[in-house]
Homo-oligomer: A and B are copies of this chain.
Amino acid sequence: MPLRIGIAGVSGYTGVELLRILTAHPGVQVAALAAGQQAGRSLAQVWPGWTGRLDLPLVEVDALAGAGLDAVFLGLPHGVSAAVAPALLDAGVVVVDLGADFRLRDPAVYAAAYGPHPCPQHLPQAVYALPELHREALPGARLLACPGCYPTATAIAGLPLVEAGLADHVVSDCLSGVSGAGRKAGPRNLYCEVQESATAYGLAGSHRHTPEMEQTLGVPVVFTPHLVPMVRGMIATVKVRLLRPVSQAELHALYVERYRHHPAVIVRADPPQSADVRGTAAAHVHVAVDATRGFATAVCAIDNLGKGAAGQAVHAFNLAMGLPETQGLPLVPLLP
């Protein structure tokens, strides 16, 4: 019997991607949809592309705790997840949170980036849901804190270097599609301000994802996010000054070995482009050594809404619930 699941925030970009993946997932049944200010409208009004394909009303987020669900995916702004998660957990519902509220273990670090934490008592039970790092901790977890898109791409690129003791800090530059800015209108997502333009922002450690990266990698991260004119997709290039010489062959082998048993990660001999993983929960990664200057550069391509959000959340959910790891996971891209 399929698991009954709910999606909160289905009117947003992450939410509708969750809907696409979960309605095609053979192990689950999408039984409830919630959408804050859009509650009461039909799915077709919010997403005309879904007209005639699914007949579920959009309810209030608060209604999900009493809906007899096995799990709820939260695609909500930070602060809101923390407000609704306790009631769900109390009702015995597994919470898969795609927001920032349960990612940082240390409430003081959270407070510095987002303000006082709304429910620090739940932090200890949260599992940081990066399958390539915490696969052992996921089975049986009741509160999954799914990583942000920038931290995911930076981690996949940088973990092998750091774990091998090759680096004591990393410089990460990420390029993101515009969907990362969400569906609400703002200066960063008006078509004519974004199209045919690239920019860097959140410089010098000011982006909220920096502490999350440092928690995962355990070394200082000099992080620069860039916004580029595309809807989906993300590239992270991680540069490290090598603490000891290493050959190209050794480095490539290190990555192959690190990800051998992780089906979402493909190690490639050439640099990937973000379209290679469009619509998927996969990451493509490549590493190159610059012997002359003593640096290594690792490149990771993900879909910011796939491996960077909805796809990875379903991956972690599968592991948490004891489903086959890749069941229902989109792993082949929409091309071109």
Contact A48/B272 with A53-B332, A332-B23, A334-B279 known, Cβ cut-off 8 Å: yes
Contact across chains for B336 and A293 when beta carbons are under 8 A apart: no
Contact across chains for A196 and B196 when beta carbons are under 8 A apart: yes
Residues of chain B within 8 A (CB-CB) of A198 are 175, 177, 228, 230, 233-235, 273-274
Contact across chains for A332 and B230 when beta carbons are under 8 A apart: no
Q: Could you say which of B195, B233, B301, B335 contacts A13, with CB atoms under 8 Å apart? A: B335
Contact A226/B231 with A20-B335, A47-B335, A195-B195 known, Cβ cut-off 8 Å: no
Among A190, A289, A290, the one with the most B-chain Cβ atoms within 10 Å of its Cβ is A190
Contact across chains for A290 and B336 when beta carbons are under 8 A apart: no
A174 to chain B, nearest CB (A): 10
How does the 8 Å CB contact mask read for A224-258 relative to B, with 1 for contact and 0 for none? 10111111111101010000000000000000000
The interface-forming segment of A85-93, A97-105, A133-141, A181-189 is A181-189
- The residues in A between 293 and 310 inclusive whose CB is less than 8 angstroms from any CB of B are 293, 295-297, 299, 301
Contact across chains for B196 and A230 when beta carbons are under 8 A apart: yes
A9 to chain B, nearest CB (A): 14
* Interface: A16 (CB within 8 A): yes
Q: Could you say which of B175, B178, B292 contacts A191, with CB atoms under 8 Å apart? A: B178
Contact across chains for B232 and A196 when beta carbons are under 8 A apart: yes
Residues of chain B within 8 A (CB-CB) of A197 are 230, 233, 273-276, 278
State which size class the interface on A falls in. Answer: 35 or more
Residues of chain B within 8 A (CB-CB) of A278 are 49, 196-197
Contact across chains for A195 and B297 when beta carbons are under 8 A apart: no
Q: How far is the CA of A295 from the CA of B170 in the complex (A)?
A: 12
Q: Could you say which of B49, B220, B292, B301 contacts A335, with CB atoms under 8 Å apart? A: B49
* Interface: A268 (CB within 8 A): yes
Contact across chains for A193 and B336 when beta carbons are under 8 A apart: yes
* Interface: A164 (CB within 8 A): no
7 CB contacts below 8 A, A to B, read: A20-B334, A23-B332, A51-B276, A179-B336, A199-B273, A232-B336, A279-B279
Residues of A within 8 A of B (CB): 13, 16-17, 20, 23-24, 47-54, 169, 171, 173, 175, 177-179, 183, 185-186, 189-201, 203-206, 220-222, 224, 226-235, 237, 239, 266, 268, 270-279, 284, 286, 288-290, 292-293, 295-297, 299, 301, 331-336
